[in-house]
Structures are given as structure tokens and as C-alpha cells.
Chain A
């Protein structure tokens, strides 16, 4: 089969490559683009370790052909760091609340939690558990993952007013 030209935006950068249409997105990300945050867990769309954000939706990249997402805007766990490269709020809270042990499921957990909090900034514990139901963890259990997401929501909400001020200040500084 002939290869097709693929153009994507991944973590804010435009990338291009050649791929057979049957190439799964997870393989394209990991093997062609060397973006190895998204993991291959079950490879059968059950575990969620390969979850990435595609055009504002959490999607399992092991069950997506790269051809289907040609032209899409994709965010992986690598794209959820702060602008200065330090850990983003979810990443920091997973660390602080021991939301990971072996860490294998963590990229999918964090990427999914990112979208969950975008859609529901004040989730109840039940809403977090329901919203994270497509991600499996085989070592810590889920308690600390739920805590980490809940703490992230609190922190993001507390930051919200001051961070918009901060953005305003940055803009003023940039303008000056």
C-alpha cells in the first residue's frame, strides 16, 4: 500500500510525515514522531494508556488510524507542561498525591483528566470516577488518582482569577 502524506498539529507544533493509512495513531506518535508519552497498554481500546486529546476530545490512539486524524490538533501528556517546562497542575498533583506507582497508566490518566476538567471544572468524586472510567490502573488503585484530579480542580479554580490577571500583566509587559 502506498504511503499517504500526513500533517498534524501535535502539542502546538505542526508535524508532517509519510504513513500507510493503516498506521495506528499510537504507532505514528511513538515511532515516527518519537512522542513516547502515550503508552501502548492493552492495545485493544480497553485500558486508556494511549489516550490523547484530539480536537478537544479524549481518544484512544490505539484505535485510531493516523489517516482519520490527518489535519487534527493533538495534545499528549508532553503538551500539558507549563510554558516554562515545569510540571503542569495535573502532573504536579499526581506527584504530590501519589496518583501513580509504576507510572504506566499515568500519561493516559492525566490526558483524560485534562479534558474532564476542561468540560467540568468542579467535578464531584462520583463525576471524576465516571469520567475516568475509560482508564485502567493496575497498581495504585484509584483513590489517589481521584484525589489528584480533585486537588487539581481546586488548584485550577483557585488560580483562575489570579492567572487571568497574570496573563493580563504578561500582555502589558509584552506590549511595553
Chain B
């Protein structure tokens, strides 16, 4: 369980980090909390000559709560998401989901930026960000750009982020006060990835529905969201079950996963509705 050797970098600002990525090309990778990357390095499934640690970059930290928008630095940890009172008041969905990620030790170091940027279909935050219609800010050699969470995921571990770009911040519009939110996750044990998980917002005549670990990307469904906005729960569930593409693995066969997906989605809808208005 000893990873291959690498040179370690701890740049102090985003420009320096991008400079190191440019200099070393695909020999370099950034590390945030490292709890996805380090296990892969220990298994020698990930090897790189240069590891660029983002921990000293102040621009990547902090939670800002504005009247209409919340922005999260990429290096904000799950623990910070859970313990930030202003965030819990503005978007309670974030805390509810973060509490269901991994275990306490992992949440102290696991970051929201790493969770969304890694492109792992098992991660909870990507589906959540699609439900919230979040925007990811990227910085690279050619400057900054924004990509909607709903456009970011291409396939497992493939995203719209270029190799020399760093995901720096996440912006989320604060849902209206009448909007109920809920996150439901079925897992085999504490610390596990979801067998199926559902993020739901509903209220004020609008709805948004996304699911996790039921395809090689998170699944946000406009059809399911529209059905729920119109009060049609069965239509919402049916549209979502058509949109997901689960595969059989050690969490169960396809039929079981669709069943769990349906149960999680219905529970999330019921709870979000009870919190709406």
C-alpha cells in the first residue's frame, strides 16, 4: 500500500497552481482532501510525477452567504458545510446531504470541490449540485469560465474540466423560502456510496429532481422535475426511472436498484413537500 513516488508542491495561489499544471502537463494532478485520490494512489491505479496540494490557497476557501447567492470555495470541507449555520439556514439540503457522506474523519478533510470535480458517479454532491442548478467556476491558463453543474458531467470520471484547469468555486442560487428540500440516500453501511440517492426541491410551482449512482453520471431530469412541479408524483417517479441507467454490481441487480431508486425518490419528495410552503 505504498504509492509510487512523486514530487510535492504546495502553491500559495491559483495562478502558481495552474503554472505547475502547465509545466508538467498530465504528469501533474491536484489534491484537495485526498480521500478519493490517495486510496487510488496506494492501489497504484493513479500515478503522477507531481502532486499539487491546494490546501494553502486562500482563494479556494470560505463560504459566502449573499441575499440571492451562496458561493462555496472548492476547498470547503464537508465538515464545514455541516457546521456552518448560515449555510444550513440558506440551503438546508447541503447539510442534510453532507451528513450522509462517508464518516466523520473523512468529512473533516473531504472537500466539496473534490467531490464535484472528481466525476465519480458514486459521489453525492454532483447530483445535489444538479438539483440546485449550481454553477462551477473554473480557472485555467486561458482565464476563468463557468460551467453549469447540469452540463459538467460527461461520463464516469470525465467532466467538462480541462486537465490544466482548477475548479475554484461553486455558486448556488438560494432557493425561495417556500421551496422544500430533501436528500434521501440508501447505503449498505456507514461510509458507503449510495445504492440510490435522491435530491429534491419542490415549492412555489417549481421543482427539481436529481439522482445519484444510478448511471455513469448524476441524473437530473427536466421531465421528472416538470411533472413534480405540476403535482404529479407518479409521473415524476416514472420519468426518473426512465432516465436512470443502473448497472448490476455488488450493490445489487438492475431491478433492485430501480426499486430502491423509486423508494428513495418518493421518500425525498414526501419530505420535501412537507417542508414546502
Which residues of A are at the interface with B, using a C-beta cutoff of 8 A?
1, 4, 20-22, 24, 43-46, 48, 51, 57-60, 62-65, 67-68, 70, 112, 116, 130-134
Contacts and interface: CB of A to CB of B under 8 A. Distances in A.
Nearest to B108: A57
A134 B8 contact: no
A4 B35 CA distance: 22
Interface string B182-226: 000000001100000000000000000000000000000000000
B221 to A, nearest CB: 32
A22 B5 contact: yes
A48 B191 CA distance: 12
B105 A51 contact: yes
A64 B106 CA distance: 11
Interface in B1-46: 1-8, 10, 31, 34-35, 38-39, 41-42
Contacts of A51: 105
B79 interface: yes
Contacts of B128: none
Contacts of B42: 24, 43-44
A20 B5 contact: yes
Nearest to A50: B105
Contact of B38 (A48, A65, A70): A65
Contacts of A116: 104
Given A21-B7, A22-B6, A46-B191, A63 B34 contact: yes
A57 B6 contact: no
Contacts of A48: 103, 105
B53 interface: yes
A64 B34 contact: yes
Question: What's the interface size class on B, roughly?
Answer: 20 to 34
B147 interface: no
A59 B79 CA distance: 12
Given A22-B2, A131-B104, A65 B35 contact: no
Task: Identify the interface centre among A44, A46, A62, A112: most chain B CB within 10 Å of its CB.
Answer: A46
A131 B104 CA distance: 6
Interface in B75-89: 79
Given A43-B1, A63-B34, A133-B190, A112 B8 contact: no
Given A22-B6, A134-B191, A67 B104 contact: no
B106 A134 contact: yes
Instruction: Tell which of A21, A44, A48, A63 has the most Cβ of chain B within 10 Å.
Output: A63
Nearest to B77: A57
Given A68-B34, A134-B103, 14 more contacts: A1-B5, A1-B6, A21-B7, A48-B103, A51-B105, A59-B109, A62-B1, A63-B34, A64-B109, A70-B10, A112-B104, A116-B104, A133-B191, A134-B106
A58 B51 CA distance: 23
B55 interface: yes
Nearest to B8: A21
Given A22-B2, A67-B8, A134 B105 contact: yes
B39 A63 contact: yes
Nearest to A43: B1
Contacts of A62: 1
5 contacts: A1-B6, A20-B5, A22-B6, A57-B79, A68-B34
A21 B190 CA distance: 31
A22 B4 CA distance: 7
Contacts of A4: 8
Contacts of B35: 45, 63
